[in-house]
Chains A and B, each alone.
Chain A
Amino acid sequence: MANYSSNQFKNGLKVMIDGDPCTMVDVEFVKPGKGQAFTRVKLRNLLTGRIWERTFKSGDSVEGADVMDTDMEYSYYDGELWYFMDPSTFEQYGADENAVADAKKWLKEQDKVMVTLFNGNPISVTPANFVELEVVETDPGLKGDTAQGGSKPATLSTGAVVRVPLFINQGEILKIDTRTGEYVSRA
């Protein structure tokens, strides 16, 4: 991989820090009038999710990380790994629990997701911002209560539990915002 010098640092740049792939989430040039120049970078470790700040001297360089965000389709779960297919190459990738993490609550077969590959292996899975999932279990809907007040838990086909309005019934398809885990509307 290429090396990047501090003047090339920018948000979204993927670099290797202490052996782990990291992404830059904030880059600030700091230079006192009479002192040395520094670049202060907020980094997110792509394996652990940890966010921290590191200060680089001007002119320091770091190695780029072989990290690629790839659009894929979710295929199936075999009890150990979640499998995703790159629709342009038909290549399958198995992602472990660590990589799939919270995304597994929103994975429906054939849905499009973004898989982040590091050296060709999935390290994280990001679902689409909105997914449509079926309600498999909830208390019976209350007639007439379409406007205000109250919510109840509903279990979706993926096992996720979300708060929904009282009028929602079993078997309905709902639109969910995966970033907040909240009900948006009926699909």
Chain B
Amino acid sequence: MNSDWQPTASIDNLRRRAGIVADIRRFFAERSVLEVDMPVMSHCAVSDPFIDSIEVAYRAYPQAEAETLYLQSSPEYAMKRLLAAGSGAIYQLGKAFRNGEVGQRHNPEFCMLEWYRPGFDDQRLMDEVAALVEPILGLPPIERISYGELFERYLQIDPHRATATELAAEARRHLDVQMDDEDPDSWLNLLMSHVIEPRLAERGALFVCDYPASQAALAQVRKDHKGRPVAARFELFVNGIELANGYHELTDAAEQQRRLEADQRQRAALDLPQRPLEMRLVAALQQGLPDCAGVALGVDRLVMLALNTEQIGDVIAFPYPRA
């Protein structure tokens, strides 16, 4: 008898998951952060070259020619449009979708918690992330370390200055990898995810901040204490697992447009699909995005950590193979 009909997560785990979701909603209600529900299906797609949106075929009537829409990979663009329209502090707890992401800690549809705080910077938002996560995971106060210090400590490399060749040589000292790439960020990501992250497992929870400016995504760029340009971006790692990614948000419309177009060029260079850019985000920034910080957190992973399980299927009733 085939057991594919059964959930992969135990009912008890799903009960505990529901408890954590209720804790999250209570946390934001107490802080008067408004819950919002952004579209899952959009006319535009995320620009990040390494996030592949899932396409859906929308038809006006069953025989009509299909219009391609995209399942959102994060509610970020829509939430920023709402912020520019004067929403004030907002959060969303809902599904996000990413093509091809299936693994021990990945499911192509997953639960993302994303929130924005007008008037906060990345430091103050890290305080709030800690206030949410520490009680759920029973953690002591979470340490902070800069991306630069992290690479210095574990690899004796300055990630802000090292060339692609130097980084490639370092990666090959640790890993058997058949890859050629002239982009230093490719090697930094590889070193981070394959060499450093596994070693962070023993350090419990850790905020990594001040990312290289080239990895700013939608964060502001500022100078660090050594005068180097760094992204006002942080990530939270717990037991070596990437749990949250936050920014002191970029509010400059022209810079936002440049970054979207740069992503599109990189996509073309890498032979990745060209998809409609969200120019309504640029328009919203022109109107005026309040100075704010925002963060996205993987709720399935949060539950995995709280329940001390190794497989995302332990906390999702029907993951991709059974969905």
Contact = CB atoms under 8 A, between A and B. Distances in A.
A110 B179 CA distance: 49
Given A54-B176, A54-B177, A60-B178, A32 B193 contact: yes
Contact of A34 (B50, B190, B194): B50
B105 to A, nearest CB: 8
Nearest to A40: B194
Contacts of A36: 50, 186, 189-190
B178 A34 contact: no
Interface in A30-46: 30-38, 40
A56 B176 CA distance: 9
A30 B240 CA distance: 12
Nearest to A30: B193
Contacts of A56: 177-178
B189 A55 contact: no
Chain B's interface: helix, strand, loop or mixed, by majority? Answer: mixed
A69 interface: no
B48 A55 contact: no
Interface string A154-176: 00000000000000000000000
A33 B296 CA distance: 10
A16 B220 CA distance: 46
Classify chain B's interface size: 20 to 34
B213 interface: no
State which size class the interface on A falls in: 20 to 34
Interface in B62-99: none
B176 A35 contact: no
Contacts of B192: 32, 35
Interface in B163-186: 175-179, 185-186
Contacts of B185: 35
B294 to A, nearest CB: 14
Nearest to B74: A33
Interface in A92-113: none
Contacts of A29: 101-104, 106
B194 A55 contact: yes
Interface in B289-315: 296
Given A30-B194, A36-B186, A38-B194, A55 B103 contact: no
19 contacts: A7-B102, A28-B103, A31-B106, A32-B193, A34-B51, A34-B215, A35-B50, A35-B193, A36-B186, A37-B50, A37-B100, A52-B176, A55-B177, A55-B179, A55-B190, A56-B177, A57-B179, A58-B100, A60-B178
Interface of A: 7, 28-38, 40, 52-58, 60
